[in-house]
Amino acid sequence: MKNIYHYHPRTGEYAGASVPDESPLEPGVYLIPDFATSVKPPKLAEGKRRVFQNGKWRYEEMDVSVAVEESATEPELTVEQLAAVAKRRRNQLLYYSDFTQLADVAESMLPEVRQAWRTYRQALRDITKQAGFPQEIRWPEKPL
């Protein structure tokens, strides 16, 4: 899989692309987070915005005066909502690294690799203790 395409959780408007992580449990299966899809959006068209809705992309007319007004009044996510999104991502990352803790897998790892995974998983559990959580999160890097 080359890219996944992100969209705004409320409006569905295209927000950018990224490369997905491969599932450590299922080689060849890629992880697609909430508010993202593997469906490629259409090309940018003048005066239109790309919106993902009901499993497909579509164009919407863009009224600049309305777009400015909407963005000025668009509600921000609450601290509770931001925390819920962060915890959901954290839980997914923990889930997809659970295999590293299985006895037969852990025994086959070098001690420093096993410790790197333990450190990574603990850092994931500790994100809620970071200063600035949930508005600012420093996600730990996955061991290689």
103 and 128, same domain (yes or no): yes
pLDDT 10s digits, 63-75: 655 444 444 445 5
Boundaries of domain holding 81: 76-144
pLDDT 10s digits, 118-132: 999 999 999 999 999
49 and 105, same domain (yes or no): no
Q: Give the mean pLDDT of 79-85.
A: 88
70 and 12, same domain (yes or no): yes
* CA distances in angstroms from 102 to 2, 42, 89, 96, 120, listed in the order given: 30, 43, 22, 12, 16
Higher pLDDT, 65 or 79: 79
Entry pTM: 0.51
Least confident of 4-13, 18-27, 66-75, 112-121: 66-75
Q: Which of 44, 74, 104 is the last residue of a domain?
A: 74
81 and 32, same domain (yes or no): no
Structurally, how many domains does the chain consist of? Answer: 2
